[in-house]
Structure 1
Amino acid sequence: MSHRAPSLKFADLYTPEPADLSEGDASVEELQMTVAELTDQLVDAEEHLQQIKGIQGQLDGVVSEVVSLQEREKTVQGEIRQLEGVHSKRQGELRALEDRLFVERASNSYRGQTVCEDLSLSPSLSPPLSLPLSHPRKLEEDGATIARAQSFTSDLFSTTQGSSSSLNGKVASLASQVRTTEDSIKAITRERGVVVREKAGIAALLATKRAEIEDITRHASQLSADRLLIDREYQHILADVSSSSPSTPTGTGLIRPDAMLPEGEYDSKHTELDAQNKAELQRIRTA
């Protein structure tokens, strides 16, 4: 008849000392508080990361707007250079026409004076009463000379008027084009000033956002380092708790199987206690 050892309970095998229990409970409570604090810090870090993503999106928009403004500034500068070239060309044409008009007026004035002098000094223009009546051929020649002089004077006047009118029209048209070009240059210059001011404001905003991102990134890096440190401490404490001697504090709910169990009951009791220990360790990790 085989002898069966009486069943032993865990309380019969291990009675923890009060000091060990108090120390173990304090360690676990401190660990749980540290984990809770770390969790709060991680939540803050997640919020900071979301802020970083939002700021990064704003920065992308700002950078795109800066690029657009730079392209617009290049376009405006090209338009200004083009208009300045047109303005210089129109100014040159205007000066050339003014010089030509002056020369034409001087030439016409000189030609008119010459014709008047020729007419006043011509002997054939003497009063008809001074000519002898016996010279009808001379009278006929004088009449022809007067007719030619009148025709020349009329043609000269018409030519002078036409040239003056044409040149005056060209001068007025070019003057109007010059004024229009100057107005366009002024308008584009004002627009360029607005673009430059907007670009400066966006550059300042970009610098501010970058500084904010750097600050948040430093804070997030510090939180990550703190989290790694606390994780190491947490794992170290768990390792100490799981591998401690029979004086392991019961505040953690861990049970250490003991070799004092009777043979035959040790394996089943060890399996049961090991499962309880694993469950308690999992509870501590997820607390």
Structure 2
Amino acid sequence: MAKVAFLGLGVMGYPMARHLKAKGHEVTVYNRTAAKAEAWVAENGGRMAATPKETARDQEIVFACVGNDADLREVTMGPDGAFHGMSRDAVFVDHTTASAEIARELHELAARGGFAFIDAPVSGGQAGAENGVLTVMCGGDPEPYARAEPVIMSFARACRLLGPAGAGQLTKMVNQICIAGLVQGLAEGIHFGKRAGLDMEAVLDVISKGAAGSWQMENRGKTMNQGQFEFGFAVDWMRKDLGIVLAEARRNGAQVPVTALVDQFYAEVQKMGGRRWDTSSLIARLEE
């Protein structure tokens, strides 16, 4: 069992840290709003610390799951950042969906400090975190990854090292590109079927067994058909992720026209008041 810390107890981090404790690891937590950390400790045991630096001290592995590049910089390199408290040979595992650029930057800074950095964004949403079945996409060096992987599996069903620093974040971008196109296609299909007078629940049941089937269809198709959008990853966060994708595409020259278009569709959903609706709410702009 490992001595670990978790920074960031949001909708993803809170259950991820809980799974670490349930697997027998010694867990210290930090959250910007201390009341959330206090509630976590009251519910799960372990202990809390007042700053990321204090949380990271004497830990074997420090996990983080925060909002964006700026939050990650603050929690790692700020005046009380975790990088100032990391033990030599420890591993920092970042589950934030952030840019590949900051992953490479933090990997280099960690190496100078005598510890390791793994970028490890996740897929599976809040339900995946709650149920301990996330998919984790990692970038970094093989040796520290090998030490971290068994601990990561406390809340994952799949975890893989995909290349050097930044490869995890780039893989998450591929993931979000694929999801954007799938959800838009599903939204258009359901909208078309309803306009055609079809029983869409029956239609989805049939076509989900064929070549059109996908996780999105199985898990969001019926609720999209019913106009329910309270089941997962918020539109605001998807737009943040797609912004990262589009910035990286400008750097590497990739053509992602569908992704750029769907990003603008999500902007329309935000204007409709759907900032906190889940990503399946793309259908709402078609049926407004």
User: Which range, TM-score by smaller chain?
Assistant: under 0.3
Greater share of residues in strand: 2
Q: TM-score, normalised by structure 1?
A: 0.19
TM-score (normalised: structure 2): 0.19
Higher helix share: 1
Bigger RCO (CA 8 Å, 6+ sep): 1
